[in-house]
Structure 1
Amino acid sequence: MHINSTVLSGQGVLQNIDYLINDRNHILFVTDKNIINLAPVQQLIKEIKATAPHVTLVDDIPPEPSNHDVDALLKRMAVADADLVVGVGGGSVLDVAKLLSVLCVKSSGVTLESLLAGEKPTKRCTSLLIPTTAGTGSEATPNAILAIPEKNTKQGIISPVMLPDYVCLVPELTTSMPKRIAASTGVDALCHLIECFTATISNPVGNNYALMGMQKLFKHIESSTNNANDLEGKLNMLWASYYGGAAIAHAGTHLVHAMSYPLGGKYHIPHGVANAILLVPCMEFVRDAVVDKFAQAYDLLPDANLVLTAEQKSIELVKYFRGLVERLGLPTKLQELNVSPDDLPYLVDAALDVKRLMNNVPKTVKREDVLAIYQSLL
């Protein structure tokens, strides 16, 4: 998949994007109630309103949006053609912005229902995505993930047409993240990187993105989480997240994400938190099938012991994952999130039904394997 987005990054980069918003007739600005109050975002909205004759502001994208949320938004907007969609926020906001870049083109011929049914879009309006968390990598993926309440799970709408024209990585926009969100979104980025690197459909292009991303993430995830004003660390985490998204675009995630989808769909557990709980047991399960790749990843740790054997390195990498989740203060047991043991049969069936991702797992996964992983977290 060819990613042809123009990426602008660094402190103050929002002060130099006039050329992106000038000469637009209708700009659709998509964000949420928390992000819209940030001073740089307010300034950007002010500049947009001073430039474009028509501005539609959507500031109520919920966390983990559902198909019903997007459908209600479309009806409320009475969607007209837009010249430019600007999405500013976390993964949920960016996913909805990508969908709107397609659905706000009347001549696209697609609807939300047809996209969920598998129809592929062929056109979109110009789009600019600005992440405010360093985790989802949505700005670099062709995916938009929606909750489907009727099925207690999530579904991905996937098309390279949704890849944005422009991306801005602005570290000062991530300084307002609470520590818990910085931690969970950072681990989400880690899951993207290590899963894509070890997936059955991994390839040299995706692997390069994954390795570059892990090198940045291992060095900066803890310092940038613990110090909200670590702008260098924040920028490196934004790049790690972007590389994770680019790895998804060229490969794909597998076991962690397949098993986290039902947790998010049924219990509405934040995606990064669900991934953090599953990271260690899922990586323990696949380790023996990807020893050499785990060893490569281990070598990127700042304090890696390079004299260890590949087998030893792979084991130490899983230990690092366990320690990282604990040091970041993220949940490690499902009881902490009020998940009932009675729901395990449903969770197992729902996870196995995410065949798009289960097919990427680097070893055979049986029903009893998935059940054992969930049970290990009780």
Structure 2
Amino acid sequence: MNIDSTIISGYQSLHDIGYLLAGKHQVVLVSDKNIIGLAPVQSLLAQLNNAGCGVSIIDSVPPEPSQHDVATILETLNKQRVDLVIGVGGGSVLDVAKLLSLLCAGDVKVTLNGLLAGEKPQRRTTSLLIPTTAGTGSEATPNAILAIPEKETKIGIITPLMLPDYVALVPELTTSMPARIAASTGIDALCHLFECFTSVIANPVSDNYALVGMKKLFASIEKSVAEPENLEARLNMLWASYYGGASIAHAGTHLVHAMSYPLGGKYHIPHGVANAILLVPCMAFIRPAAVSKFAQAYDLIPDADLLLGEEDKSHALVEYFDALVHRLDLPVKLSQLSITPDDIAYLSQGAIEVQRLIKNVPMQIEKKHLEEIYQSIR
């Protein structure tokens, strides 16, 4: 099976995709109620109707979907065989769409519980993913993240079969994002790019994606938040997010994401907000182990002082991250999220258990280090 995605991008790029619908009879469109009414999505639905497709619309995906939410959706679909799954939304919507592309492919051996247990599927149905936020990069990753309420954590289901057939990067679909969402999802994209760039399993392919993505992000993140109708900035952020996802597919995130997981799993802190709080202390902690990579990233900032030495550049990058989070008016302390010092032991234990990410950190990490970082932002 071909697992390379065809990418469609640009203003009004959804207005003529009838050629993708040839031979498709049963379509599942995963979105949410706020997005279904947008003009580009209505255009897409009109094309599906004109092509004679039967369309099942799922618009009930919550912000942090659990395995129970996906099970409920599967019951709604009643085991129907699907020719095309379309996801239009943020990372949660896209993750659910990717899972449905496996679970609605007619492979009776694949179940949701099996995927959660690590079983590997053999097939998927055709998929088209259309992000409406610029941060998760879900459209470019082989991952789907589900909350597991019983364990107060999240689990990542990973298989290259979830890489979609088609991706559409449509900037006008992101202009209705509130500034705070645009800011926090943008920081999520930054974390993907920079964590993958500094991961111990980084490689020339992931580095190339990360460098291109960071250059676009540094040039556009603040402009996209301040000027929501700036389609060039919004498209640059969509591409930065996509490159972040591609970086994950070839390398992997590490400390910020490991420490943000328990914040989301138990306290339901939005993922981008948790990452924003953790970005600066985590990067300050690992900086001595990746000075050269920090300096390379610093050089991509539009106003970077290129005459600085590597050590000074590495410090300057951490200072830039700190200033950026403040300028975007995102939280910087756990207390702003009603997380108390009494919660730090739980958070540290939850983070150290995310070994698939902790092992990617470019230095040895113990539970005491995680406690120190959480304490520094209490």
User: Deviation at 1:22?
Assistant: 3.0
Pairs within 5 Å for 1:132-147: 132-147=132-147
Which residue does the alignment assign to 1:13?
Answer: 13
User: Deviation at 1:241?
Assistant: 0.4
Matched-pair contact (CA < 8 Å) for 2:94–2:139: yes
Q: Distance in 1 between matches of 2:55 and 2:109?
A: 23
Structure 2 counterpart of 1:120, one-letter code: K
Which residue does the alignment assign to 1:157?
Answer: 157
Q: Distance in 2 between matches of 1:342 and 1:73?
A: 37
Alpha carbons of 1:281 and 1:15: their partners in 2 closer, same or farther (altered >3 Å)? same
User: Deviation at 1:35?
Assistant: 1.2
Q: Distance in 1 between matches of 2:113 and 2:27?
A: 24
- Does residue 1:221 correspond to 2:221, yes or no? yes
User: Deviation at 1:108?
Assistant: 5.2
Root-mean-square deviation over aligned CA pairs: 1.0
Which residue does the alignment assign to 2:263?
Answer: 263
Show CA shifts across 1:252-284 (max 9, x none).
000000000100011111110110110000000
Moved over 3 A (4+): none
Pairs within 5 Å for 1:272-291: 272-291=272-291
User: Deviation at 1:37?
Assistant: 2.0
Which residue does the alignment assign to 2:323?
Answer: 323
Matched-pair contact (CA < 8 Å) for 1:26–1:55: yes
Q: Distance in 2 between matches of 1:92 and 1:292?
A: 34
Matched-pair contact (CA < 8 Å) for 1:95–1:144: yes
- Does residue 1:25 correspond to 2:13, yes or no? no
Q: Distance in 2 between matches of 1:284 and 1:348?
A: 18
Q: Distance in 2 between matches of 1:337 and 1:356?
A: 26
- Does residue 1:85 correspond to 2:98, yes or no? no
Which residue does the alignment assign to 2:181?
Answer: 181
User: Deviation at 1:366?
Assistant: 1.3
Q: Distance in 1 between matches of 2:238 and 2:65?
A: 22
Matched position secondary structure for 1:146: strand
Show CA shifts across 1:150-209 (max 9, x none).
111111000000100000000000000000000000000000000000001100000000
Q: Distance in 2 between matches of 1:212 and 1:3?
A: 22
Q: Distance in 2 between matches of 1:311 and 1:113?
A: 48
Q: Distance in 1 between matches of 2:134 and 2:170?
A: 10
Comparing 47-56 with 364-373, greater Cα deviation is found at 47-56
Show CA shifts across 1:86-110 (max 9, x none).
0000000000000000000122521
Comparing 247-256 with 11-20, greater Cα deviation is found at 11-20
Show CA shifts across 1:281-305 (max 9, x none).
0000100000000000000000111
Matched position secondary structure for 1:221: helix
Q: Distance in 2 between matches of 1:34 and 1:342?
A: 37
Matched position secondary structure for 1:300: coil
Show CA shifts across 1:285-329 (max 9, x none).
100000000000000000111110100000000000000000001
Matched position secondary structure for 1:80: coil
Task: Report how many residues are paired.
Answer: 377
Matched-pair contact (CA < 8 Å) for 1:29–1:57: yes
Normalization by structure 1: what TM-score?
0.98
User: Deviation at 1:3?
Assistant: 5.8
Structure 2 counterpart of 1:176, one-letter code: S
Gaps of 5+ in 2: none
Matched-pair contact (CA < 8 Å) for 1:86–1:129: yes
Matched position secondary structure for 2:64: coil
Q: Distance in 2 between matches of 1:219 and 1:108?
A: 47
Q: Distance in 1 between matches of 2:320 and 2:21?
A: 44
Which residue does the alignment assign to 2:346?
Answer: 346
- Does residue 1:198 correspond to 2:198, yes or no? yes
Matched-pair contact (CA < 8 Å) for 2:352–2:367: yes
Normalization by structure 2: what TM-score?
0.98
Which residue does the alignment assign to 1:377?
Answer: 377
User: Deviation at 1:340?
Assistant: 2.6
Gaps of 5+ in 1: none
Q: Distance in 2 between matches of 1:153 and 1:130?
A: 27
Matched-pair contact (CA < 8 Å) for 2:136–2:245: yes
